[in-house]
Structure 1
């Protein structure tokens, strides 16, 4: 079942008009959420990122778009798909409705749809990584700015980068900004480990303001065993690192096994996953 503006509709009957601005112009935002046994992981962070993104895109936020309202709609949809007692991946899509060209009509109103699918794991596993191979994606670059950090429907680099990865036998690619700094993977934020230093690109470099990125930084900020840095990463540093890992809300942490001829371990990533799962069990 699909939730379109509060109405539960079968997947076969769920349709979006060709006049929808999200379809026509990418005038839309989305959040990908993990729901386990009726608990939406990190929902407050997802909600406030969504509200901030809507303001940046100058969407008129409906008065009823409270955190409680959207949580209720998400769980209603999860329940309608018989996944309230299981693990689910949820995509909450927000668009500006229909009407207008680049300039929306005055009558254009914000709408939403919610799509749910099954997830196999309730918590975050230590994923296999030895054969997880990445390389740089250098056909196009991300320009740093407020728009680059949004989780919007404008994902051309991620789409063609994923095609490039498949064509070249890669599991993922690392994205560069226009300053030639490495900012993220195609589907998540990037962390680099060298000795006791854990480094991730700053938001100013153009990476996504990731919810899992925020969780990991919070977990590590008072840990005396590590030095945490939000600083630019050059391609040269990738070859010198001990570990590289990718983070997002669905997977948690995906360690990278190989970049070109350099191979990595996943010692610290595995430790962080354990810390993350402990936190989730306590909340």
Structure 2
């Protein structure tokens, strides 16, 4: 079942118009959440990021879009898909209603919610080979628009094709200043000695929920120094560790970039702490 504007319909009946603005112009934002045993993890952070994204996109936020309403919509979908006792990934997409060309004739919005089962309830450390490369064909623009999750993901799509064609697990994206911004599917962290770096939102990095949780965790570990600062591609081959974060996998250690191979000591330590927060959140 799929939630289409508040109605639960079968997958074959979840139809959007070809004039849908999310399809036609990328006029859409989305949020991916992780649900464990019927509870949405880090729901408050997800909700406020979604509302912020809608405001940045100048969408009309319905009065009904309270945290309780959207949470109930997600839980109802989970139950109707028989996922109440299973880990699940849920995507909530919000789009402006059709009309106009580049300029919308309406600011009213529609939404869809889809859910699918996940394999594991909590995050596991994947220590399989995970090689990455820079994707340099196109760049992420620095600024606030790049920090929100819209469905205009052309750079990510092209980067994933490049990775697939060349045998890489992922690619790292650059902004117009040639700074490393993020991976194709998450934020990036770099470890060198006792310093942990991650690109700032102002560089064009996605304002990730897992990123936010890890920033809080790292700040509470006295032996590590946290820096939100631009990362040069030259730093990648000097780092001790490199890892990618998102709400679905938690932390994905990178094992190799070009001739440089990385450990996963800090990744494992942070993942265990992230799991604790996920259980509580």
Would the TM-score normalized by the shorter structure come out above 0.5?
A: yes
Residue pair 2:144, 2:201 contacting (<8 A) in 1 also = no
2: CA distance, partners of 1:114 / 1:49: 17
- Secondary structure of residue in 1 paired with 2:11: coil
Q: What residue number does 1:121 align with? A: 120
1: CA distance, partners of 2:35 / 2:14: 22
String of CA shifts for 1:166-192, please: whole Å, max 9, x gaps. 000000000000000001000000000
- Secondary structure of residue in 1 paired with 2:142: coil
CA RMSD of aligned residues (A): 0.9
Cα drift, residue 280 of structure 1:
2.5
Match status 1:39 vs 2:46: no
- Secondary structure of residue in 2 paired with 1:240: coil
String of CA shifts for 1:120-152, please: whole Å, max 9, x gaps. 0000001124x1000000000111011111100
- Secondary structure of residue in 2 paired with 1:94: strand
Q: What residue number does 1:63 align with? A: 63
Q: Which residues in structure 2 correspond to 1:83-98 (within 5 Å)?
A: 83-98=83-98
Residue pair 1:162, 1:173 contacting (<8 A) in 2 also = yes
Normalising by the residue count of structure 2, what TM-score does the alignment of the two structures yield? Answer: 0.98
- Secondary structure of residue in 2 paired with 1:176: strand
Residue pair 1:98, 1:109 contacting (<8 A) in 2 also = no
Aligned pair count reads 281
Q: 2:135 aligns with which of 127, 134, 137?
A: 137
2: CA distance, partners of 1:100 / 1:164: 34
Match status 1:15 vs 2:15: yes
Match status 1:109 vs 2:86: no
2: CA distance, partners of 1:64 / 1:212: 27
Match status 1:181 vs 2:182: no
1: CA distance, partners of 2:49 / 2:116: 22
Residue pair 1:124, 1:251 contacting (<8 A) in 2 also = yes
Question: Structure 1 stretches (4+) deviating beyond 6 angstroms?
Answer: none
Q: What residue number does 2:233 align with? A: 235
Match status 1:30 vs 2:6: no
Structure 2: 5+ residue runs without aligned partners?
none
Q: Which residues in structure 2 correspond to 1:254-273 (within 5 Å)?
A: 254-273=252-271
Residue pair 2:42, 2:278 contacting (<8 A) in 1 also = no
Cα drift, residue 58 of structure 1:
0.5
String of CA shifts for 1:61-120, please: whole Å, max 9, x gaps. 1111111111000111111110011100111000001111111113x5211100111100
Cα drift, residue 279 of structure 1:
2.3
1: CA distance, partners of 2:58 / 2:239: 40
Structure 1: 5+ residue runs without aligned partners?
none
